[in-house]
């Protein structure tokens, strides 16, 4: 499921607030979140979108083109995020958005901390995971991983966290200097 309008508007707001020039998106899906991000980013900014699925990347490129967003504004990388992210430059990104394999959210947090510049923002979609996160009866791997990333972000002294109750929850955090 792509990010909803409220979550997308929050991403656009964050990208605009940061005057984002370099953004990493983990999980391009069909391009919906990328469009929201690109509409908030600086006009000459570049969105790096990582997705394991070639078809998702094809659909995202088509969506960007239909939205009037130039191909020079995107860098599409096909591959497993945990294999691709280590090849990206440390401290070079204004925003990292995560919306891929929920079981890998804690590892995406480590990658985001490395990739973000001081003052940069990370955002995790589905932080409430269909209301399962708050219900201790749900013990599936996805729910447990989202609980873990919520806890890690909350307890990390390097971060200033905030959970936005939009859509299925958007966990955001600013990386301190």
Listing DSSP states for 6-24 in one string gives: HHHHHHHHHHHHTT-SEEE
pLDDT category of residue 34 using cuts at 50, 70 and 90: very high
Question: Which pLDDT score is estimated for 1?
Answer: 82
Q: Are 47 and 20 in contact (CB under 8 A)?
A: no
What is the residue-wise DSSP string for 61-128? Answer: HHHHHHTT--GGGEEEEES-HHHHGGGSPTT-EEEEEE-S-GGGHHHHHHHHHHHEEEEEEEEEETSS
Instruction: Supply the pLDDT for residue 114.
Output: 98
User: Using one digit for the tens of pLDDT, what is the confidence trace for 115-139?
Assistant: 999 999 999 999 999 999 999 999 9
Q: How many CB atoms lie within 10 A of CB 39?
A: 15
Q: What is the pLDDT of residues 37-64, one digit of tens each?
A: 999 999 999 999 999 999 999 999 999 9
Model confidence, pTM: 0.97
**What are the structure tokens assigned to 19, written together?**
């005057």
pLDDT in tens, 138-158: 999 999 999 999 999 999 999
Report d(CA 34, CA 11) in Å as an integer: 9
Q: Which of 34, 27, 28, 37 is nearest to 64 (CA)?
A: 34
Q: In degrees rounded to 5, what are phi and psi of residue 90?
A: -60, 135
Residue 116 is part of which domain span? 5-175
Higher-scoring residue by pLDDT: 177, 140: 140
Number of domains in the chain: 1
Confidence of residue 71 (pLDDT cuts 50, 70, 90): confident
Q: What is residue 86's predicted lDDT score, i.e. its pLDDT?
A: 98
What value, to the nearest 5°, has the Cα angle with vertex 71 and ends 67 and 75? Answer: 115
Per-residue pLDDT at 148: 98
Structure tokens at 137: 């009866």
What's the whole-number average pLDDT of the chain?
Answer: 97
CA distance 51 to 63: 15
Are the beta carbons of 116 and 24 closer than 8 angstroms? no
Q: Which two tokens stand for residue 78?
A: 């096909």
Q: How confident is the model at residue 19 (pLDDT cuts 50, 70, 90)?
A: very high
CATH number (domain holding residue 145): 3.40.50.150
Q: What is the pLDDT of residue 157?
A: 98
């Amino acid at each position: 499921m792509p990010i909803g309008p409220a979550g997308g508007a929050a991403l656009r707001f964050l990208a605009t607030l940061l005057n984002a020039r370099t953004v990493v998106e983990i999980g391009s899906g069909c391009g919906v979140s990328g469009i929201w991000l690109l509409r908030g980013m600086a006009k000459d900014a570049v969105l790096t979108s990582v997705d394991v699925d070639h078809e998702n990347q094809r659909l995202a490129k088509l969506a960007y083109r239909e939205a009037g967003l130039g191909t020079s504004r995107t860098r599409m990388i096909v591959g497993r995020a945990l294999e691709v992210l280590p090849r990206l430059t440390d401290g070079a990104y204004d925003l990292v958005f995560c919306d891929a394999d929920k079981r890998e959210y804690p590892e995406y947090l480590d990658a985001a901390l490395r990739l973000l510049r001081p003052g940069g923002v990370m955002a995790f979609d589905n932080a409430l995971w269909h209301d399962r996160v708050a219900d201790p009866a749900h013990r599936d791997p996805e729910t447990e991983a989202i609980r873990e990333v919520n806890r890690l972000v909350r307890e990390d002294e390097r971060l200033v966290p905030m959970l936005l109750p939009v859509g299925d929850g958007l966990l955001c955090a600013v990386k301190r200097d």
